[in-house]
Structure 1
Amino acid sequence: MQSGRHRDEIQQYIDCRSLSVYEAIWRLNEYTIHVREPSVVRLGVHLDGQQKVPYKKQSNVRNVLGNPNVGNTHLTEWFALNRRDPQARVLTYAHIPNNCTWLPDCKEWNPRKKGFAIGRVAYVPPGSGDVFFLRMMLTKVRGALSYAHLRTVNGELCPDFEKACEKLGLLSDTSEWIRVLSDISTSRMPRVIRSTFVSMLMFCEIPSPIALFNSSWKSMAEDYAYRLTKDLRDQTQKPSDERLQNWVLRELQAMLSSHSMTLEDFNLPTPTDGPHEDGENPLINEHLAFDTDQQHALATSMLHSLNPEQTNVYTSVISSVLNKMGRAFFLYGHEGTGKTYLYNVIAARFRSLGKIVVLVASSGIGATLLPKATTAHSRFKIPLILDATSTCPIKHRTDLADLLKEASLIIWDEAPMTHRQAFEAVDRSLCDILNVPLNGHHYKPFGGKKVLFGGDFRQTLPVITDAGREQMIDGSLTRSKLWNTFKVMCLSTNMRITAVHSADQQLMRGYTFPEWVLALGDGRLRARSFREDGPSDWIQIPSLFLIDPGDDTVKSIADDIYDLFPDNHRDPAYLTSRAIVTPTNTTVSRINDYMQQRVQGNIKNIIVQIHCSYQQKQQIRLTKAIRQSSSVLSRSMEFQTTSLC
C-alpha cells in the first residue's frame, strides 16, 4: 500500500475490492448498474454580473474570458429564451427544464423533443441579501425578459428585489410564521418554541418580527409561569403578563447573544432588568432562601466547638473561596472525625454572607445529613454508563447551569464511593458551562469552581459489576488525573467517641474502642486463617460486640437492641437512638413482624381504594398522601392499599 501524497486511492480501491459471482456476471453482460429517473436539473441563481465562470485548471484565463458564451447561465438564457419565444413566457424559471433541454456546449435552452426533467432552483440562505429575494421572485414571476423587467411591478421599476417582493405581496403577511409557531406549541415544550423563534429571526425573512413575537410570547413563557406558580405554592396567584414577557425577552436575548446578535437588530423590545433580578430561577431561589442572621448565629455557635484540625480546614476553605485563590480540596478522615459537622459550619458561614453553597453526597443517606443537599448523580445528572469522554447533560442557559455558575462552593461528601469517571464527567461539564478550555495552560479543574470533596477510603469503594480488586482500585478517585490537583487535608480525632466514658472503652489487648477502630481500618490488627494453607484474612471481633444468637437469631438481636420496647415504643428519642441494619428485605420483614408482635393491641386492616386518572396525574399525589398518612399510623396497624387504575 502506498502512503503519503503519492497514494493512488482509485487504484487502491480497485486492488482491494471484491466482486461476488452475481455482480461479476451482471457487469460482464453490461447490464445497467444504476438509473436516475426522472432527471433533475439544478438551476442556479445569481444577481446581474455575479455569475460563476467555471474553467479547467490547465485552461488559459484569457481564452476563457474571450469565449462569447462565458457569461451564459441557466438564468441569463432563460431571459433570452423568453425574449425570442413568446410561448415560453407562460412558464416560471423552475418549469423550463420540463419543456426545454439545456445544451452545455453552446449554453442555451432548446425545445425538448422527448422525455421530461424536473427543475430545482438552488437554495439561497435568507441572510444572503438581495439574491434571496431574487430567488423568491423567480418562483412566482413568469416570462421575465431581464433583471430590470423582473424588478418591474405594475409598471414601476423597483430599486431592488426586496422592494419588488414587497410590492407583489410576498412579504406583507406574517400569518404563515404565526401558524408555524402555533403548530409547534401544540406538541413541543416552550424551550423548543423559543429556539424556533430565534432560528426564524436569524435564518428567515420575517416581515414583522414584533407581530410574530406578540402572537407567540405567551406560549414561550408557559414553563416559567408553571415554575413560578409552583414556587409560590398558591394556585390562585398568577404572574403578571409584564413579568412573563420580560422573562421571555431575557431568554431570547441570551440565545441571540451567543450568535452575536441582539433584540435591537430585529426591532424587538429589550428586557427591563438583568438576568436573575426578577427571581425566575427556582434553584437559585432555593439556595438563597436562608435567613442570613440565623445562619450567622449558627456558624458562630458551631465554630467554637471545632477542634484544631477542623479549624485549620475551615480557615483554609473560607479564605480560598473568599480570596478566589487555591484549588480543589479533599477532606480525608475516618468515620466520626466530624466531616459532616464541618460541612455544616462551612455552609452556614457562606450562607450567612448570602452566597450559594451546593451540597451533594454520593448516597441518599449521606445527603439527608446535610442541609438542602441532594445526591451527586441527581444534582449533576451524571450518566449511569460512564467512559473516558462522558459528560453530564447540563445545557447552557438552564436553571441548573445558572445555579452552578452562581455557586461559590460545591461540597461533595462520600466521594470515595463514586467512580473516578463521574468526577471527570463533572469536571468536563463545569469547564463547558464556565467556558474554560479542557486542555492547555488555561485549564482549571472543575472550571475554576471551588470544590470540597470528603470521605474515607476505608469505607465502600466504587461498586463495579464483576470487577476484581484491581478494577475497583482503578475506579477510585486517587487514580484520576484530578487527584494531583487536590489539596488533601486530614482529620484524625474521633469526635464521636471521645465523649464515651473511659471505663466503657477498655477492650481486649489494651485497645480502647477508638484505637481498635483505627487499627481495624489501617490493617494493623492481627489476622488469622481458618485453613493451614489459606490466607490470613479473618479478624477476631471482641466478644463485647457480639450477641449470643441462641435458638432464634431475630429474637436475640431485637431484644438486645430494643430492650424495654413495649414500654418505650411511642418514645421518639428511644426509637431514633437504636437501629438494626440488615442487607436483605426478607430479614427486615422478619424483624418487623417480631417487633409488631411485641406491641400490645389488636392489628387492624385498613383498605384504601384509589381511583386515579392518568391524564390528570393524580396517582402521584395520592401516593404521596398515602405515604404521609401511613407514617402517622400506629405500629399496631397493618396498612394495606389497593390501587384501581
Structure 2
Amino acid sequence: MIHGPCERRNSNSPCLVDGKCSKGFPKKFQNETATNEDGYPTYQRRNLEPVTLGKHRIDNSWVVPYNPYLSLRYNCHINIEICASVKSVKYLFKYVFKGNDWTNVNFKVEVQTCFDSRYVSSPEAIWRIFRFDKHQQSHPIMRLAVHLKGEQTVLYRPDLESVSRALQQHQDTTLTAWFNMNQENDAARVYKYTEIPEHFVFSQKDRKCLPRKAGFGKTTGRMYPISIGDTKRYFLRLILLHVPGATCFEFLKPVNGVQYDTYFQAAKAQGLTTDENIWDDTLADAAGAAMPRNLRDLFAYICIYSGLTDMSSLWNNHKTSLIDDFVKKKKNGHFFSHECNLCESYALRDIQDVLMTHGKRCNGFSLQIPLADLLIQFNDGTNVQLIYLFILFNNFYIPTNVGNISSVYIKQNLATGFTIIA
C-alpha cells in the first residue's frame, strides 16, 4: 500500500493542507518501532532502494502501515495501526459510552443563550439495533451513594408497597449504613468510605453493612460522580474521600475543634480545596473518561470553588487534555498543534464563558486572556460570527459582516426553538 505520492510530486493531492500532507507522509526512516505520547507508533522503516511505480520513484517512506495476511486474506487495502496507550484506547472505545452527540449554538440574547438537542449518529444507531455488548466487567463494583442529610433517593413499586412503608424500609443507603456501622463497630472506623466494600458487604435486605466472610474481597467501591456545580454534595464527597470512621453527617463538619456550617468550609479548613495536588488528581482522573469540553467545564468550576488564584501550573499540566479536541480539528485550513495559541484560546474561551457566569475572568487566575473575535463553529463546519442581533418580532433578521453573508433570517418556533435559514 503506497500513499500518494503528494506534496511537490503531486500538488493536487486531496491530502494536502497548506502544501503539507495531513497524513504525515513521507515518513522518516528509522531502525526500530517506537511509541510516542499520543500512542501512535512510528514504525520501523528501513532505507531501502527505491522502486519505480508509474512515473514516480517510491521508497519505504511512502508505505502505509499494513498487515500482509489481512491484505491477502481479504484482497483489499487495509490500513493497520496499533493502539498502544491508554489515550488511544480511550478514543477507540469512549464514543460508545460518552452519550449522545451535542451541539451548542450560542446567540447574543439574554433570554435564550443555547439549545439542548440530541443527535443519534448512524454508528450509534446500528450498535443499539444489533444490541452489541457495551462493556465487560472484571471486578465487582459497588456503587456508593453520596447525598445530603435526608435527601437520599428511595426506590419502590407503588403496586407492591406504600410510600410510608418504602421510606421506613429503604431509607438507609450505603452512606447511612456506613455511619451506623461506625457507631456500632469501633474496628471499622479505620476505613474510609471507599474502602468499606473491600471488607464489608452491604445487605440489600437488612440495609446494613456486614463483615465479609472471607475477610477481604476484590470488590471495588466507587462513589457516584458529582458535578462541582453541586457544591454541597461535591465537597461532601471530597471530605468522604479523606475522612475515615464518620458516624454521622455532623461528624464531617468539625475541623480541629471548630464547627463549620458547610462542607465547603470544612474542606477548605482541611486544606482539601487549596491543595493543588487534589485538583491535579481530579483532572487526571476525569481525563481518562471525560471529553475535552467536559474537562474545560470542570477546570472552570475548580477555578471558581478551589480558592486558588494561580491556575497557570494546573493549566499547563493538563493543557494537552483540555485542548485535545481543538488539536484534532481543522479550522480555516490550519491543523492545530499542542503549541498553537489559537487552539488554546478556543479552550480558554469555553472556560471563561463559565467563569463569567460567576463574575470572574481568566486573568483573575493567572490564565491567558482568550484571543478576541473567535468564530462560532456550527455543526456543519461553517464558522459564523453573529455581530448584531435585533429582535423585532417572532421572525427577525440578524445583520452580519462575515464573508459574503449579509443577513441571517431566523424564524422562531415556540415549540421547537429557532430555525436558521442563511
Q: TM-score, normalised by structure 2?
A: 0.45
> Higher helix proportion, which one?
1
Identify which of structures 1 and 2 has the higher relative contact order when contacts are C-alpha pairs closer than 8 Å and 6+ apart: 2
Structure with larger Rg: 1
